[in-house]
Chains A and B, each alone.
Chain A
Amino acid sequence: MSKPLKQIHLAAHFPGVNNTTVWSDPRAGSHIEFSSFVHFARTAERAKFDFLFLAEGLRLREQGGQIYDLDVVGRPDTFTVLAALAAVTEHLGLTGTINSTFNEPYEVARQFASLDHLSGGRSAWNVVTSWDAFTGENFRRGGFLPQEERYSRAKEFLATANELFDSWHGDEIVADQETGIFLRDAKAGSFVHTGKHFDIRGQFNVPRSPQGRPVIFQAGDSEEGREFAASSADAIFSRYATLKEGQAFYTDVKSRLARYGRGSDQLLVLPAATFVLGDTDQEAAELAREVRRQQVSGATAIKHLEFVWNRDLSAYDPEGPLPDVDPVVSEEHISRGRAQVRMYRDPIAVAREWRQLAEANKWSIRDLVINTGNRQTFVGSPATVAHTINDFVQADVSDGFILVPHITPGGLDPFADKVVPLLQERGVFRTDYEGTTLRHHLGLALPHSRLRSSGGTPMDDLRGEERVAS
């Protein structure tokens, strides 16, 4: 009881290229026009959210050798759209997912440092990995990275990028028009990195940015992913938003921090969460069922089953019973370009379990997929949802949530209008921004800048913010 109330962190995930996003709804707008991103970002900022989150995929998904056509397809370049959003927002953090396999540290560090300058210190990087030769077909090096090396490359990639961010200390630019000294140090930005994956040297050409480094997110769930987060990330974008699973994950990752000399407040746990609001809990529950049916059309249900069965099931009726045949267990998978391929490690057992479930409940294929798939995390009246979110955060399920609306771009609006004020009334969510950088919103300290004690500098003026007490 003596524990002080935790402040909740909230973020908005732009609806993604998966079946959570309901494009068939009459209210659904463009997923590519900039006006949709502006609407979404401004709603998040109006609601005083910590940040906006963008996912990324570097090859269109395929199933059965064909481009997957049932979900939203197509998205903008992450960096470019975030830089444009910096022009139409003032405080909102801008988090981009950027792949560490099909990029190089010098370039990514330049882009994040540039985004951080251009947004006045609001950039964040969700570091993801991939190894698949499938995505590699779009890049010069092809599928060069063995699966077991993806985290080792990601770790070294991030460490190298950090060396580049830190290669400028923040006081090098003098720009004294009288004396003609622009740079204090001819060696500004010097770096040498020699490692297994990167062997690079030279001088980085972007001066230190307002946050020093972008905020680092990690999204992987494996043992290696959790260690990576504990050692190197500022926040985890996790998938555990229910009470028990969330608490277990939270305890697990926070307990790993001490090994790296880090405190439990130096890594935020922010699960993805979906929501459906209604005037009453009952109305919300009905709406939620309706949304699930929109998310899982008959065609989507068959494709989802194919995903587990790993075979063509197009002859089956989605309103009929589950297939009698067993899944095909093979290294070759019917679906390519999806992270979730790894989710079903024993498809035969999953199929058996699903058949039993369907029989017991008299479910069709579509019913089964609707009922076993991702249900909405928070369903209820605004009061119920606000109450649940606060309870979860206070019970250490998480430090907040990354909300994933199912309608683009207006799906966040009801949450902003109806739930956020209730959280503010309870004193667990900010009523206005108190700082200008994303690190400030998240209560994270600025990274150690190795700033020399030389008094005020132009770069200090640019930073324009006090160090945040942790």
Chain B
Amino acid sequence: MSPSPSLHLAVALDGTGWHPASWREQVARPRDLFTAGYWADLVAEAERGLLDFVTFEDGLGLQSTHYDELDGRTDQVRGRLDAVLIASRIAPLTRHIGLVPTVITTHTEPFHISKAIATLDYVSNGRAGLRVQITARPHEADHFGRRTFPPLSSEELRTPAGQQRLTDLFDEAADCVEVVRRLWDSWEDDAEIRDVATGRFIDRDKLHYIDFEGKYFSVKGPSITPRPPQGQPLVTALAHQTVPYRLVARQADVGYVTPHDAEQARAIVAEIRAEQEAAGRAGELLHVFGDLVVFLDAEQAAAEDRRARLDALAGEPYTSDARIFAGTPAQLADLLQELHSAGLTGFRLRPAVAGHDLPAITRGLVPELQRRDAFRTAYEADTLRGLLGLTRPVNRYSPRLSAFLEPGGTPIA
């Protein structure tokens, strides 16, 4: 077995990049945003850089600079394609890189999410994951008409009532992930038997009702899609505070967090590890990745100038929940190694301009980290779980596992 790389790298893809003026750069290709070719080229570049995975942002409404309403702006990218379908469209064109689209659990049925990601796992031969997202946006709820959300400004978000609303949505998301995960396990791996003698295609004792009943919904199961190649595709979530940290600790394989320095990173990691222990997952591998927005150039001045130029085009300085880095690959490598030693196991980099900063990551940062023996020099596994050092989990419905868990049962060696 090859040694596991000391840190993991993912890239978050969103339109032409994370800076709102990114689309105006020469390299940006804004007119190609709604074509498969645009996304295929970006993911191919990420795969050339041996990255663990790419995430695809998504949303059930037009992009907006305001959280709880549309902004009516016409000077930024508006409109996007469904993230699961982009990921699936790219899967046959790539071989190693993980594909992690965003799904929105507030409005999308967990049954649909489960079979969609299982299918992404099939079409990618074991490279699928999902990023769980909630939405409290009133205008997105209006697109469905099934529930009404009052406006939620950033001030209201800090009130107890605002916090409670978020807590409810995250609890619902946790239930949704629970359903998605149970459905992935609802077929045992060897359920398809094709027994010509008895005429049975499946052994139905190896299919399981999940019988989930929660506060928000119930789901019967089993899935219509057999257990995917990875068993459990990767579950990831972005988290900024205790409530979502808990979701990460209970349900995720990778959490994305946004510390601005090593000290914050240590504190966040400690909180998540404590929640992980409280959730009874102490022995499990749970990755905590730092999110960073990056402007990468050969010279620090060039990166800073580019940032200033884009801010000027946008008419205001770009702000983010994540730390914004502008500098050279060597400086970024220094920062990542510092944060890594503070307990982060990897990073999800948000290229400020996809067409510029993604190649700067794959052709500048990656070689720099390789020189420091801090990143892989070849893909060492066939599945996304494998790249992240996660084993293929035992099926929760497998009788072997039940026997193992039963008091007095025979432990499996």
Interface residues of A (CB under 8 A from B): 23-24, 32-34, 38, 57-60, 66-67, 69-77, 79-81, 83-84, 86-88, 102-104, 106-107, 110-111, 113-115, 117-120, 137-140, 142, 168, 173, 175, 177, 180-189, 198-203, 205-207, 209, 297-300, 458, 461-462
Contacts and interface: CB of A to CB of B under 8 A. Distances in A.
- Scoring B93, B123, B192 by chain A CB atoms within 10 A of each residue's CB, the highest score goes to B123
Interface stretch (B71-79, B340-348, B398-406): B71-79
Interface stretch (B138-146, B230-238, B245-253): B138-146
Leading 9 A-B pairs by shortest Cβ distance: A137-B220, A84-B123, A80-B119, A114-B82, A83-B88, A77-B119, A299-B199, A175-B30, A76-B119
Contacts of B378: none
A350 B224 CA distance: 32
B285 interface: no
Nearest to B144: A104
B80 A205 contact: yes
A77 B23 contact: no
Contacts of B62: 189, 203, 205
Given A76-B119, A118-B85, A298 B199 contact: yes
- Scoring B80, B88, B196 by chain A CB atoms within 10 A of each residue's CB, the highest score goes to B88
A184 B82 CA distance: 22
B295 interface: no
Interface string B114-136: 01101110110100000000000
Given A58-B224, A60-B207, A77-B225, A183 B199 contact: no
A189 B89 contact: no
A79 B143 contact: no
B70 to A, nearest CB: 6
Interface string B49-92: 00000000001111100000010111111111110111011111
Contact of B81 (A38, A199, A206): A206
A186 B73 contact: yes
B92 A87 contact: yes
Contact of A34 (B86, B125, B226): B125
B109 A184 contact: no
A182 B77 contact: yes
A80 B199 contact: no
Nearest to B72: A186
A4 to B, nearest CB: 38
Interface of B: 21, 23-26, 28, 30-31, 34-36, 59-63, 70, 72-82, 84-86, 88-93, 107-109, 111-112, 115-116, 118-120, 122-123, 125, 139-140, 142-146, 187, 192, 194, 196, 198-204, 207, 216-222, 224-226, 313
Nearest to A174: B74
- Scoring B28, B30, B82, B122 by chain A CB atoms within 10 A of each residue's CB, the highest score goes to B82
B216 to A, nearest CB: 8
Contacts of A70: 199-201
Contact of B142 (A184, A185, A201, A205): A201
A106 B199 contact: no
Contact of A81 (B21, B123, B194): B123
Contacts of B82: 79, 110-111, 114, 206
Given A84-B88, A177-B26, 5 more contacts: A69-B201, A69-B203, A70-B200, A103-B109, A118-B36
B107 A104 contact: yes
A75 B225 contact: yes
Given A74-B224, A106-B143, A205 B202 contact: no
A186 B85 contact: no
Contact of B76 (A77, A107, A182): A182
- Scoring B34, B125, B192 by chain A CB atoms within 10 A of each residue's CB, the highest score goes to B34
B92 A186 contact: no
Nearest to B211: A137
A237 to B, nearest CB: 20
A297 B207 CA distance: 23
Contact of A86 (B34, B89, B202, B222): B89
A314 B355 CA distance: 65
Contact of A75 (B80, B109, B112, B224): B224
Nearest to A181: B74
A32 B189 CA distance: 13
Contacts of A201: 142-143
B81 A117 contact: yes
B345 to A, nearest CB: 29
A26 to B, nearest CB: 10
27 contacts: A24-B194, A24-B196, A60-B222, A70-B200, A74-B202, A77-B116, A77-B225, A79-B82, A79-B116, A80-B88, A80-B123, A83-B84, A83-B85, A83-B89, A87-B89, A87-B93, A102-B109, A103-B112, A104-B107, A106-B144, A111-B82, A111-B85, A113-B81, A184-B74, A188-B79, A202-B143, A205-B59
Contacts of B90: 87
B111 A189 contact: no
Given A84-B91, A200-B142, A203-B62, A183 B198 contact: no
Nearest to B29: A175
B225 A180 contact: no
B217 A74 contact: no
Contact of B111 (A58, A74, A202): A58
B204 A77 contact: no
Contacts of B139: 202-203
Contacts of A72: 201
B23 A177 contact: yes
A185 B74 CA distance: 7
A182 B75 contact: yes
A273 B245 CA distance: 54
Contacts of B226: 32, 74
A80 B313 contact: no
Given A32-B225, A205-B60, A183 B78 contact: yes
A182 B21 CA distance: 10
Contacts of B77: 182
Given A24-B194, A67-B207, A198 B145 contact: yes
- Scoring B107, B119, B146 by chain A CB atoms within 10 A of each residue's CB, the highest score goes to B119
- Scoring B75, B89, B146, B207 by chain A CB atoms within 10 A of each residue's CB, the highest score goes to B89
Contacts of B36: 86-87, 117-120
A185 B188 CA distance: 51
Contact of B74 (A23, A66, A83, A182): A182
A310 to B, nearest CB: 21
A344 B112 CA distance: 31
- Scoring B26, B107, B109, B221 by chain A CB atoms within 10 A of each residue's CB, the highest score goes to B109
A93 B78 CA distance: 28
A276 B333 CA distance: 64
B116 A138 contact: no
A139 B109 contact: yes
A33 B229 CA distance: 10
Contacts of B207: 60, 67, 73
